[in-house]
Amino acid sequence: MKLYNFFRSSASYRVRIALNLKGVPYEYVPIHLRRGGGEQYTPTYTVLNPQGIVPTLEDNGRVLTQSLAILEYLEERYPEPPLLPRDPADRATVRSMALAIACEVHPLQNSRVLNYVKDTLHHSEEELNAWSRHWVTMGLTALEQMVRSVPNRGVFCFSNMPSLADLCLVPQLVNARRFGCDLSACPTLVQIDATCRALPAFANAAPENQPDAE
């Protein structure tokens, strides 16, 4: 199994955590998102991932893209330990938390989006950071409420097992801190993040522990 990814990519980080939690060995293939204008745009990579984004997972001759689709694939192929609860409504709750980050917050900080706002629309670095802080804080504040409203909540986003929601939360908080977001409205998320990062599967997937870390 090969994971084409970048140490600082949040979407890649989600998949690394899942592979570690499930104990699936994989080959780490670094795709540098800035070097030479971005290795994600080279023909050898876009043949695998026509969107020119990471991560991409190659397994048994199949090429899979989109981190959430990859996570669902890993969940079905390697069911233990599960990253989704058993009850259908609980599963939908976990997915709604994961999607709240992956669909609403994360895309607004993607490098290509920020580069367009900066280079084509001519906004300053300062304005860009304010943009990121605005959307991240709004998204995380909503997620805080979603997590708090889980009945019988445990130490993770949902119950006492790490789920897809935690796999999306932890990388997003790295991002939030990078942009200097005020997390004071999200004490539950900050606590869950600390609990997750204490687990080896999360720690070993962290950007600073990857072979291409700068």
List of residues contacting ligand GSH (CB under 6 A): 9-11, 33, 38, 40, 53-55, 66-68, 102, 110-112
- Asked if the bond preceding 107 is cis, omega within 30° of 0, the reply is no
CB of 31 to ligand GSH, least distance (A): 8
* Residue 97 or 102 with smaller CB distance to ligand GSH: 102
Encoded amino acid at 125, one letter: E
* Residue 114 or 155 with smaller CB distance to ligand GSH: 114
Tokens 């290509």 belong to residue: 112
Q: Three-state SS for 38?
A: coil
Contact 34, 183 (CB under 8 A): no
CB of 33 to ligand GSH, least distance (A): 5
* Residue 111 or 188 with smaller CB distance to ligand GSH: 111
In angstroms, the CA 65 to CA 75 distance is 15
* Residue 31 or 201 with smaller CB distance to ligand GSH: 31
CB of 76 to ligand GSH, least distance (A): 17
Classify residue 214 by its DSSP letter. Answer: -
CB of 201 to ligand GSH, least distance (A): 19
Buried b / exposed e along 15-28 (16+ C-beta atoms within 10 A): bbbbbbbbeeebee
Structure tokens that stand for 91 in this block? 């599963």
CB of 65 to ligand GSH, least distance (A): 7
CB of 142 to ligand GSH, least distance (A): 19
* Residue 11 or 157 with smaller CB distance to ligand GSH: 11
**3-state SS record for 109-157:** HCHHHHHHHHHHCCCCHHHHHHHHHHHHHHHHHHHHHHHHCCCCCCCCC
Tokens 């908080």 belong to residue: 173
